[in-house]
Chains A and B, each alone.
Chain A
């Protein structure tokens, strides 16, 4: 038994395998629908229809898109570094799939925990895995041998380290209130009140940092198309480009899942316990809608504004939040 897995609940290997396949299948079934949802909603926000030609309500649009991406030539610039160029899109996909494992979909039912793994280091696992994703993006940008890609990758490097600190500090308040790092225990400790109320500042900082970590508007600096073409993705085509896009949606789902588990009571909701995963998915989708809504509403920040927001506003605010929470936890 590896020490990373939860030692209190020993599950048979085949259960773990089945769980992994189910989580993978469900998420990869939801991901294409998210792309349609986003395009349809953005269309409505901008007074147009959005995709509505392929299949009923345009629902088969992602299938057509994937077909197009797969059939494209896997182009590689002449001065690109071959191995690293191929490795670039692989690492973020790996990291995204790995971080799906800790999202809790429900409590232990009939001896089976409705989550991938319940690691004792909990939320630290999310940050550790997230740093792998970052290398994929950086390698992709560097190895493309193009100045747009390099600049995009460098921007995202600076952006990610700036916002990761605030993100960690924002979650620290929740960790202190529940007294555990494990996501399953954190959901359990929200039986009385969801942490979004006592930790509202933490929630706001986490979501803002989440927008930045997933490279979404208003922080989509690394791929600011007006100045950097497509940032680190510029030289990618075909399914390699497709996997960068896929990862963006996967990261949105993961960040929404972590936020739902840490602030919105995770799987808790009225009704029998087999509805738990549905509640979790519903809360996640609610947060995904927030991501889309923000993208349609806000313009992109300037780069120096992004940096000063991260370091001069979010970081002090998150530190203050941690201090106040620590004092309150000790006093009560």
Chain B
């Protein structure tokens, strides 16, 4: 059962990710990204992290992607731009992509493949439930947690400042 679900979710994640860059119509790209995010949530669920899976769906699929869909459906597909925004992008992008792939392949081949025959780590009861994650965030990782929340607050304030400046110019 878990193996079947894993392969369904893995195919969904990979297919969605490929779909994002392969689709011509930006609306379909966004839909493919949504499929990808839902598949990732299913993978988190298989890793006994129900909370992370729910957060993934609520935050990314539920809120962030809604904004993407909103923008794409309103603005519509403008088609591909005729010129390259960054000179040489057409040649640099595949090279950098291949480099990243080789790096990830080395990392995966050297560590994860060795663990294939083993049982995997032992998961204790309560792992990944909201209480455990809350305790980790507010005790062990308090400083990074607070730092990232300040960063988010700054971003929110910045967005409001930028938007209100533009409104004054228009008025």
Contacts and interface: CB of A to CB of B under 8 A. Distances in A.
Interface of A: 2-4, 7, 84, 119-121, 124-125, 127-128, 130-131, 134-135, 138-139, 142, 150, 153-154, 157-158, 160-161, 164, 181
Interface stretch (B53-61, B84-92, B113-121): B53-61
Contacts of B55: 124
B146 to A, nearest CB: 17
B69 interface: yes
B70 A157 contact: yes
Contacts of A7: 125
B34 interface: yes
Given A2-B45, A124-B51, 18 more contacts: A2-B1, A3-B46, A3-B48, A3-B50, A4-B45, A4-B50, A121-B130, A124-B55, A127-B62, A128-B41, A131-B61, A131-B63, A131-B66, A142-B73, A150-B73, A154-B70, A154-B74, A158-B70
B66 A161 contact: yes
B26 interface: no
B129 A121 contact: yes
B120 to A, nearest CB: 14
A33 to B, nearest CB: 31
Contacts of B51: 120-121, 124
A95 to B, nearest CB: 11
B141 to A, nearest CB: 20
A131 B50 CA distance: 16
Given A3-B50, A121-B130, A124-B51, A131 B58 contact: yes
Interface of A is mostly: helix
A34 to B, nearest CB: 27
The 4 closest A-B pairs by CB, nearest first: A131-B62, A3-B48, A128-B57, A124-B54
Interface residues of B, number: 31
Nearest to A141: B73
Contacts of B125: 7
24 contacts: A3-B45, A3-B49, A4-B50, A7-B125, A120-B51, A121-B51, A121-B54, A124-B51, A124-B54, A124-B58, A128-B41, A128-B53, A128-B62, A131-B58, A134-B62, A138-B69, A138-B73, A142-B27, A142-B69, A154-B74, A157-B69, A157-B70, A161-B66, A181-B130
Interface string B127-153: 011100000000000000000000000
Contacts, number: 74
Contact of A121 (B27, B34, B50): B50
Contacts of B41: 128
Nearest to B132: A120
A161 B55 CA distance: 15
B5 to A, nearest CB: 8
Contact of B34 (A124, A135, A164): A135
A134 B61 CA distance: 10
A119 B27 contact: no
Contacts of A130: 62
Contacts of A134: 62, 66
A141 to B, nearest CB: 8
B50 A160 contact: no
A326 to B, nearest CB: 13
Interface in B25-47: 27, 31, 34, 41, 45-46
A131 B57 CA distance: 8
Specify which of B45, B49, B63 lies most central, judged by the most chain A CB atoms within 10 Å of its CB.
Answer: B63
A119 B129 CA distance: 10
Specify which of B50, B51, B73, B125 lies most central, judged by the most chain A CB atoms within 10 Å of its CB.
Answer: B50
Given A7-B125, A131-B57, A157 B66 contact: yes
A120 B66 contact: no
B1 to A, nearest CB: 8
A131 B49 CA distance: 19
B130 A120 contact: yes
Specify which of A3, A119, A135, A138 lies most central, judged by the most chain B CB atoms within 10 Å of its CB.
Answer: A3
